[in-house]
Amino acid sequence: MTRKQRRLTMICGSLAVLAVAAALVLNAMRDSIVFFSTPTMAAEKQIPPGKRFRLGGLVQPGSLVRGDNLAVNFSIADGSATLPVAYKGMLPDLFREGQGVVAEGALDASGVFKADTVLAKHDETYMPRDVADALKKQGHWKDDYGAKPGATAASAPVQGTAK
Amino acid sequence: MIAEAGHYALVLALALALIQSTVPMLGARWGDPALMNVARSTALAQLLFVAASFTALVMLHVASDFSVVNVFENSHSMKPLLYKITGVWGNHEGSMLLWVAILALFGGLVAAFGNNLPLSLRAHVLAVQGWIAAAFYLFILLTSNPFLRIASPPIEGRDLNPVLQDIGLAVHPPMLYLGYVGFSISFSFAIAALIEGRIDAAWARWVRPWTLVAWIFLTLGIAMGSYWAYYELGWGGWWFWDPVENASLMPWLAGTALLHSAVVMEKRNALKVWTILLSILAFSLSLLGTFLVRSGVLTSVHAFATDPSRGVFILLILCLFIGGSLTLYAWRAPALKQGGLFAPVSREGALVLNNLFLTSACATVFIGTLYPLALEVLTGDKISVGAPFFNLTFGPLFVPLLVAMPFAPLLAWKRGDLLGAAQRLTAAGIAALVAIAVLFAWTHGGATLAPLAIGLAIFVIGGALSDLAERTALFRVPFATAMARARGLPRATWGTAFAHAGIGVALIGIVCETTWNSEYIGTMKPRDIASVAGYQLKLDDITQRQGPNFREMIAQFTVSHDGETLEVMTPSKRNFTTRDSSTTEAALLTRGASQLYVSLGDTNAEGAIAVRIYHKPLVLLIWWGPVLMAFGGLLSLSDRRLRVGAPKPAKAARALQPAE
C-alpha cells in the first residue's frame, strides 16, 4: 500500500467509527431523554400517560399518606396546580412536606404520577434548582425558600429508587 | 495571624508564577541559560509557598478558628480530627487551594527531576505550568479566598456536610486532583513542543511517565469515588452517570487514549500530531471538569458552589487555555514532521483503533453531559440525560474496543498478522465460549446479554494471559525456562497484561451486579426476619447512641445462611444537629467478592423501621478491576526504560563548554 492509500484507509475507518458514534447518540437522544415539568406545565402540555418525565415542585403540606409496605402517596404543587404522586420505596432522608422535590416517572391512566425515583437534597435550606427556577418564573418564589446567604454548601441529593 | 500568613504566601506564589510564566520564555528566546534556569527555582519556591498556604489553612481548621469564614462554614469544634483535616478540601475554597497545591507539586517535580530534559524544553514546560498556576491563583485570590475573616467571630461553626464526614473524603479528592492536575504536565509538554516546533521520540518518552502517573491516580480516584458513593449514599448504586462523574470519566478516557498513542510515538515516531492533540484534550477536559464542578452550573451530587462570579471566571480560564492551546495547535501542528509508516493491520493500527473508540466514547459522554446545559441556555427547555442514554451510546462503543483489545499486544509493529494473532487467542476464545454456554445453561431463560458480556470479559482476561504465555513460551519450553523468561520480560509488558485484565475483571463485576443483584425493601420490627438471596437477616434490636457531633440510631441484624449464623450487621442513621440533617450509614458484609448491603430508612409510628437489603454478587470486582489497572500502570512506570530515561544528547554538548 502506498502512503496515500494507507492514509485513506485510516481516514475512512475514523469516519466510519464517528458515524457509528453519531448514529448511536442520535438514536439515544430520541429515546432516553427525560424532560422536566412542573404540575402546571404538565397540565398545559397534556403529557400522555406512560411518557416519562421529571416532575418538580413542593410537597403539598398535609398530602403525605404512608401506606403499607413503604407505599407513599403525596402531592406535588407549584402554587397553581397540584399533581398526585404515588411512590413505593424509601424516601430520601430529608423528604418533607413543604420542601422541594423532583420525582421521575410517568402518569398512569387515572392521572396519578407513578414515580420510580424521588430526589430531594440533603439540606434543610435546599431547593432543587429546576424547581426554584420554575417557581420564580411563575411568581411563586419566596425569598425564604432559597439558601441562607453565605451557606452555599448545598449538599448531595439522596436518591430513593424503587425497582 | 495564620490566616494572613497563608493569604500572603498565596499572593507570593502568584508573583512567583508570573515570573515563572514570562522570564524562562524570554530566556529560551534569547538562548540565555541563566534566564531559562529561573523556571526551576521559581517552580520550587512556588511549591514551598503554596504548601505553606495550604498548611496554614489546615492549621486553621485543626484549631477550629471560627473567625475565618471558611472554617466557620465547614467545621465544628466537636468534629473528629480526621474530618477537621479532610474538611479543608470538603468545600469550594479549600478544594481549589488543594488544586493549585497539587499543580505546584507537579511543577516542582518536573523542576526537581527534569535534569535530563533539554534546557529550553524544561523552561517552556515550566513556563506553561506558570500560566496555568497564575490563572488559578488569581481565581482563588479574587473570587474564592479561603482566608477571609469574619468581623465578629461566632463561637461555633456550621459543621461539615455530614455526607462528607467520611474517610472517603480523605482519599477521593486528593487522588482525583492528582489525576486531573497531573494531565497539566503532558499539556505543558505539548504546548512547549508546539512553541519549539520540534517533537521526537524522546519527547514521548519524557511525557509518558507523567501521563502514566496522572492516569494511575485518576483511575484510583474514580474507583474510590464510586465505592464511596456506593456505601455512603445508602442505596447501593456505584455509578450514576452524574455530570460530575462524567467530568472525571472524560479526562480518563482521553488520558487512556493518550497513554496508548504516546506508545506509538515513542516506539515508532508516528502519530505525533495526534498525540499532541490528545495531550491538549486530556487537560482541557480536566479543566472542563473543574469548571463543571466548581462553577455550580450543574445541579448535582457534588456541586458545592453556586456563586456565578466564580463560574464566569473559570469559564474565562477555560476559554483562554482551551482556545489558546487549540489555536496554537492549528497554527503550529502542520509544521511538525510526519512520522513512520505502518499498515492498517499492525500494532500501530490497533492502537489507532483503540484511540478512535476511546475518543468517540469520550465524545458521547461529552455530548450527554453538556447537551442539557446547551439546550437550557438556547431554548430554556430542561431535560435530563440519564443512564439510558449512556448505556445506549457508551456501551456499544466499548464492545468493539474490548473485542479488539486482546489482539493488539499480539500484533507486530509496522505490519501485523491478524490470522496469527487470532490463532494465539484460540484458548482465550474457547474459554469465553465455554463461559457463555455454561452461563446460558445455568441462568436458563434469564438475561441474554449478561452471559455474552461475561464471555467478552473472559476473552479480555484470557487475551491478557495468552499474551504473557506467548511471550514466555509457557507450555512450549520447560517450566523453569518459561519462568526465567517471565522474569526477563519488560515490566511494561506485565503492566499491559494487568491493566487489560483489570478491564475484564471490572466488566464481570459490573455485569454480575446489575443483572443478578437481589433486594428486599420493606418495614421491619424487632425480631422480624427478612431473607435475601439465601441469607436470613433477623432484626435484633434498635438502639440510640450519641456520637461526637451526631446522634445515631443503630439497628442490629444477625445474618445467617443455611441456619448457620455468620455475623452481626449494624447499619445506622446519623442525625447531625448543627445542620439538622441526617445520613445513612450502610452496613456491608463481604463474602468473597460479593456483598450484603443493609441501609435504614425512617421509623414509622408503630416502631417499625424501613429497611433496604441488597445482595450484590461479585460487586467488589467492579473496584478490584481499576485497582488491577492502576497496578499495571505502576508496573509500567517502574519499567527500566522509563527509569533510565531518554538518551541525553545534551550532555555531550555541555561537556564541550569551557569551564568557567
Of B360, B396, B521, the CB nearest to A89: B521
CA angle B493, B498, B501 (to 5 degrees): 125
Per-10-residue mean pLDDT of chain A, 163 residues long, equals 78 90 88 83 85 86 83 86 88 77 88 86 50 62 40 37 39
Residue B88: which pLDDT band, with cuts at 50, 70 and 90?
very high
Q: What is the pLDDT of residue A148?
A: 34
* Alpha carbons B527 and B540: distance in angstroms, whole number: 5
Distance (Å) from the alpha carbon of A28 to chain B's nearest alpha carbon = 5
Give the N- to C-terminal CA distance of chain B in Å, as an integer. 46
Run of H or E residues at B190: helix B167-196
**What would the pLDDT profile of B442-492 be if each residue is shown by its tens digit?**
888 777 889 999 999 999 999 999 999 989 888 888 888 988 988 889 999
**Residues within 8 A of A (CB atoms), B 249-308 only:** 299, 301-307
Q: What is the pLDDT of residue A144?
A: 41
* Alpha carbons B429 and B463: distance in angstroms, whole number: 8
Q: What is the pLDDT of residue A134?
A: 65
Q: What is the pLDDT of residue A51?
A: 86
Residue B580: which pLDDT band, with cuts at 50, 70 and 90?
confident
Q: Report CB contact under 8 Å: B233, A153.
A: no
Give the N- to C-terminal CA distance of chain A in Å, as an integer. 55
Residue B162: which pLDDT band, with cuts at 50, 70 and 90?
confident
Q: What is the pLDDT of residue B335?
A: 82
Distance (Å) from the alpha carbon of A93 to chain B's nearest alpha carbon = 6
* CB within 8 Å of B74: residues ≥ 6 apart: A153, B61, B87, B90, B91, B94, B157, B158, B159, B160, B161
* Alpha carbons B359 and A152: distance in angstroms, whole number: 35
Give CA torsion, residues B571, B167, B210, A17, to 10 deg: 30
Residues of B in contact with A3 (CB under 8 A): 341
Q: What is the pLDDT of residue B137?
A: 97
**What would the pLDDT profile of B171-191 be if each residue is shown by its tens digit?**
999 999 999 999 999 999 999
Q: What is the pLDDT of residue B298?
A: 67
Residues of A in contact with B586 (CB under 8 A): none
Of A6, A28, A123, the CB nearest to B393: A28
CA angle B409, B414, B420 (to 5 degrees): 50
**Residues within 8 A of A (CB atoms), B 512-551 only:** 519, 521-523
Instruction: Answer yes or no: are the C-beta atoms of B18 and B85 closer than 8 Å.
Output: no
- For chain A, the 3-state helix, strand and coil shares in percent, each to the nearest 5, are 30, 30, 35
| % residues pLDDT > 70 (chain B) | 95
CA distances from B604 to A101, B28, B286, B323, B618 (A): 21, 72, 46, 56, 34
Q: What is the pLDDT of residue B507?
A: 96
Residues of A in contact with B304 (CB under 8 A): 152-155
Nearest to B588 by CA among B548, B544, B620: B620
Q: What is the pLDDT of residue A129?
A: 60
Q: What is the pLDDT of residue A136?
A: 63
* Torsion angles phi and psi, residue B531, rounded to 5: -120, 135
Which of A5, A34, A47 is the best residue to mutate to test the B interface, defined by the most B CB atoms within 10 Å of its own CB?
Answer: A34
Asked if residue B648 has pLDDT above 80, the reply is no
Nearest to B461 by CA among B421, B495, B424, B432: B432
What's the rounded mean pLDDT across residues B525-537? 91
Residues of A in contact with B233 (CB under 8 A): 156, 158-159
Nearest to B373 by CA among A129, A100, A19, A1: A129
Q: Which of A38-52, B218-232, B407-421, B474-488 has the highest average model confidence (pLDDT)?
A: B218-232
* Alpha carbons B539 and B555: distance in angstroms, whole number: 7
Residues of A in contact with B573 (CB under 8 A): 93
Nearest to A88 by CA among A69, A109, A105, A113: A69
Of B74, B158, B389, the CB nearest to A32: B389
Residue B237: which pLDDT band, with cuts at 50, 70 and 90?
confident
* CB within 8 Å of B651: residues ≥ 6 apart: none
Of B382, B393, B521, the CB nearest to A130: B382
Residue B353 in contact with partner chain A when CB distance is under 8 A: yes
Which of A26, A155, A159, A161 is the best residue to mutate to test the B interface, defined by the most B CB atoms within 10 Å of its own CB?
Answer: A155
- For chain B, the 3-state helix, strand and coil shares in percent, each to the nearest 5, are 65, 10, 20
Q: Is B413 left (phi over 0), alpha (psi -120 to 50) or beta?
A: beta
Residue B381 in contact with partner chain A when CB distance is under 8 A: yes
Q: Report CB contact under 8 Å: B392, A28.
A: yes
Of A1, A3, A154, the CB nearest to B306: A154
Q: What is the pTM of this model?
A: 0.89
Q: What is the pLDDT of residue B304?
A: 38
Nearest to B602 by CA among A74, A125, A92, A144: A92
- Residue A51 is placed in which grid cell? 411518557
Q: What is the pLDDT of residue A111?
A: 87
**Residues within 8 A of A (CB atoms), B 438-467 only:** none
E-strand stretches of B64-131? none
- Residue B173 is placed in which grid cell? 479528592
Q: Report CB contact under 8 Å: B521, A162.
A: yes
Q: Report CB contact under 8 Å: B382, A69.
A: no
What's the rounded mean pLDDT across residues B267-278? 89
Please, is B365 exposed, middle or buried when counting C-beta atoms within 10 Å of its C-beta (0-12, 13-18, 19+)? buried
**What would the pLDDT profile of B347-368 be if each residue is shown by its tens digit?**
999 999 999 999 999 999 999 9
Asked if residue B656 has pLDDT above 70, the reply is no
* Alpha carbons B468 and B500: distance in angstroms, whole number: 12
* Alpha carbons B631 and B506: distance in angstroms, whole number: 14
* C-alpha atoms less than 13 angstroms from C-alpha of A46 in its C-beta half-sphere: 0
Which of B75, B299, B599 is the best residue to mutate to test the A interface, defined by the most A CB atoms within 10 Å of its own CB?
Answer: B299
Query: SS3 for B149?
Result: strand
